[in-house]
Chain A
Amino acid sequence: MATQTDAYRAAPARATSRRRQKKNQLGAFGALSHIALIVWAILVIGPILWTFLASFKTNPEIMGDAPLAMPQDFSWASWGRAWEKAHIGRYMLNTVLVVGVSTFFTMLFGSMAAYVIARFRFPGNRIVYYLFVSGLAFPVFLALVPLFFVVRNLGLIDTHLGVILVYIAYSLPFTVFFLTAFFKTLPNSVAEAAMMDGSSHTRTFFQIMVPMAKPGLISITIFNILGQWNQYLLPIVLLSGSVEDKWLITQGIANINTNAGYEADWPGLFAALTMAILPMMIVYIIFQRQIQSGLTAGAVK
C-alpha cells in the first residue's frame, strides 16, 4: 500500500486520472447498490402493505385475476367481522393477558435470580448459572411431549395459568443469561452505601439495583414481550381445540386460515392479519432502537 501511495506522489497526473476512473466505477456501484437496497425495502414492505389493502377488498376482488389492483372502496366491514365472528378481539385480549402477566413475572423472577447469581458468592452459584444457561442450547421440540404431560398432570392443560407458567420458565434462560452480565457491570459502591445505611438485601435490590439496571431491563422486557406474543408452538400444544375461547392470537390466525377455505371470507382473514400485525408494528417503531440492541446484545460482545 505504501509503495502505491509513493507512486501517486511521483506521478500526480496519472494518479488523478486513475482516481477519476475509480470514482466513475464507484458511481455505477453506488447506483446499483441503491437499487438493490430499494428493491429489498419494497420486498419487505410490499407484502405487508398488500395485506392491509386486501382487508378492504371484496372476495371477488381478492380471488380475481388482478391480485395487485387497489380496492374499489374502503369499507371497514371486514374488520368488524374479523373482530367479532373470527374472535380476533377475544384472542387479542387473551394474548394481552397471558403475555402481560408472564412478562411481568419473567422479569421479576429473572432479575431476582440474575441479581443473586451476579453479585453473591455462595456454594452452587456456578451450577445454578449453568443450569439456566443450558436451557438456551436445547431444542424445545425435545421437551414437547413430556412438557405436555407435566402440565396435564398439574391439571393446568387448557388453562392460561399453564401457558403463563411455561412461558415464564422458557423465558428464564435468556433473561437470566443477559441480566447476569448486566448486573455484574453495575458499580458496587451505591449498593454498599445503602447496606451501610441499614437497608436490607431485598430493599437494596428493589430500590437501588433495579432502577440502576433499567436500560437492561427495558431491552429484555421488550424482547420477552415480542417473543411471547409471537409464540406459536407452545399455545397449540397447551391449549387444545376444545377450549377455542382461550386461544391466543397466533393460534387464532393460523386457524382462520385453515377454515377460510370453507367460509371463504378472505377480506376478514386479511383484516385479522392486519390486526395482528399493527400492534407489533407500533411497538417496534416506538422501541426499534432498544429492540435491535436487545436482540443483538447477546451475540456481539
Chain B
Amino acid sequence: MRKYGFIFSFLVIPVILYAIFVISPYLQAFYISLTNWRGISANPQFIGFENFTRLLGDDVFWAAVRHHAVLLVAMPLITIAIALFFSFLLNVGGGSKSGKMAGVRGSKFYRVVYFFPQVLAVAVVGVLFQAIYRPDNTGVLNGLLDLVGLGPVGWLIDTNLALWSIMGVIIWQGVGFYVVLFSAGMAAIPSEVFEAAALDGAGRFRLFFSITLPLIWDTIQVGWVYLGIAAFDAFALVQVLSVDRGGPDNATTVLPLEIWRTAFTFSKFGYASAMGVALFFLTITFAALSLRVTRRERIEV
C-alpha cells in the first residue's frame, strides 16, 4: 500500500537515529551498572548489585546526594518566589487602566531583559561568574563590598558558602524563564476576574494570594518540576565554577560531576553507570512525588 510505504519512508531515519544514539545507550547503561567494566577488557564481568552496595558506603556519593537535596529545596523555592513576585508586578501590578489590568510601566522591557541570561551558554555564564566571585578585592562582588567597607568574602573557596554561591548563579540564570512562564499563565486568566476583585476592594496582596496564585497553580507545578530536574542536572556550572571540580573538599560536588569524573577520568564505567542509575531513580521519584503532592483540584475559570 502506498500509504504504508510513505509512513515507513518518513519514520525510518529518525527512528533509527533515535534508537542508536538515545534508546540503546539508556538500555545499555542499566546493564553496564551491573558489571565491573573498566573499558579495557572486552568482556566486562557481571557482578550483580555490587556497584550499588559500594555506592551506599561511598562518602563522596552521599555528599553529592546531600547537595542535590539542598538544591532541590532551596533553589526552586527562591527562584519561584522571585519569579512570581516579578511576573505579578509585570502583569497586574500596574492596577486597572481604562478597564484593563496592566503591568507596571516598562513591563515589556523588563520581560525582555530578565530572560536574557537564559540564552547564554552555561559554560560562558560559569566563566563570567568566576571573575565576579574571585575571592580577593579583584573580584567584582568583593570590589563592590569593598566600596561599602566590607571585607572580601571567599565566595567559592569557603566550604560553607561555595554551594550557595553556585546556586545563586543558577537562580540568576533561571528567574527570567519562570517570569515568562508565569506571565503566560497569568495572561490566561480572564482580566474580568481581577477587575471584579479590584472593584470589590481587594488590594494587591489579596489579588495575588487569593486569585493569581490559585489560578496559576498548574503552571507553578510545572515550574517546580522543571526546577527540581534542573537541581539534579547541575553540571556545567559546578564543573566550571567550583574549586578542584566539586571542591573545596567536595563541598559542591553533584552526581553528574561524579559520573563524568568516575567514567572519563578514572575509567570506572560500571561504577559510573551505577551512579547514573541512582540519578535516574532520584529524578523519576522526584518528578512523580512532586506531581502527586502538588496536585490540586483544577479551578475552572
A290 to B280 CA separation, bound complex (whole angstroms): 32
The contact of A112 among B10, B139, B284, by CB within 8 Å, is: B10
The contact of B201 among A4, A50, A63, A292, by CB within 8 Å, is: A4
Residue of A nearest to B6 (CB): A201
Interface residues on A, range: 35 or more
Q: Interface SS of chain A: helix, strand, loop or mixed?
A: helix
Q: Is B86 an interface residue (CB 8 A)?
A: yes
Q: Is B184 an interface residue (CB 8 A)?
A: yes
A149 to B264 CA separation, bound complex (whole angstroms): 12
Interface residues as binary, A249-272 with B (CB distance below 8 Å gives 1, 0 otherwise): 111011011000000000001100
With both chains docked as a complex, state the minimum distance between the C-beta of A159 and any C-beta of chain B, in angstroms.
14
Residue of A nearest to B258 (CB): A141
A169 to B18 CA separation, bound complex (whole angstroms): 5
The contact of A22 among B138, B199, B203, B232, by CB within 8 Å, is: B203
With both chains docked as a complex, state the minimum distance between the C-beta of A221 and any C-beta of chain B, in angstroms.
14
Q: Is the CB of B284 within 8 A of A137?
A: yes
Residue of A nearest to B169 (CB): A47
The contact of B7 among A22, A120, A281, by CB within 8 Å, is: A120
The contact of A145 among B105, B255, B263, by CB within 8 Å, is: B263
Q: Is the CB of A295 within 8 A of B180?
A: yes
How many contacts A-B (CB < 8 Å)? Answer: 285
The contact of B146 among A65, A115, A138, by CB within 8 Å, is: A65
Q: Is the CB of A166 within 8 A of B21?
A: yes
The contact of A172 among B17, B117, B144, B177, by CB within 8 Å, is: B17
Q: Is the CB of B17 within 8 A of A288?
A: no
Q: Is the CB of A30 within 8 A of B280?
A: no
The contact of A257 among B9, B119, B185, B240, by CB within 8 Å, is: B240
Which residues of A106-158 are within 8 A (CB) of B? 109-110, 112-113, 115-116, 120, 122, 128, 131-132, 135, 137-139, 141-151
Q: Is the CB of A232 within 8 A of B130?
A: no
Residue of A nearest to B240 (CB): A254
Q: Please report B residues at the A interface, Cβ cutoff 8 Å.
A: 2-4, 6-7, 9-11, 13-15, 17-18, 20-26, 28-29, 32, 82, 85-86, 89-90, 93, 95, 104-106, 110-124, 126-132, 137-140, 143-144, 146-147, 172, 175-177, 180-181, 184-185, 188, 197, 199-204, 219, 222-223, 226, 229, 232-233, 235-236, 239-240, 255-256, 259-260, 263-264, 269, 272-273, 276-277, 279-280, 283-284, 287
User: What are 29 A-B pairs at a CB distance below 8 A?
Assistant: A1-B202, A22-B201, A26-B203, A33-B104, A36-B89, A37-B106, A37-B110, A40-B114, A67-B137, A67-B139, A68-B140, A110-B14, A120-B3, A122-B3, A128-B15, A131-B15, A131-B23, A143-B29, A143-B276, A144-B272, A146-B273, A169-B17, A229-B121, A230-B119, A230-B124, A256-B127, A280-B121, A292-B111, A300-B222
* 19 more A-B residue pairs beyond the given contacts A45-B116, A141-B276, A169-B20, with a C-beta to C-beta distance below 8 A: A4-B201, A5-B200, A44-B116, A44-B176, A63-B138, A109-B13, A139-B232, A141-B259, A147-B21, A172-B14, A176-B14, A202-B6, A202-B9, A253-B123, A270-B131, A276-B124, A281-B116, A296-B177, A296-B184
Q: Please report A residues at the B interface, Cβ cutoff 8 Å.
A: 1-2, 4-5, 8, 22, 25-26, 29-30, 33-34, 36-37, 40-41, 43-45, 47-48, 50-51, 54, 62-68, 109-110, 112-113, 115-116, 120, 122, 128, 131-132, 135, 137-139, 141-151, 165-166, 168-170, 172-173, 176, 200-202, 205, 226, 229-230, 232-233, 237, 249-251, 253-254, 256-257, 269-270, 273, 276-277, 280-281, 283-285, 288, 291-293, 295-296, 299-300
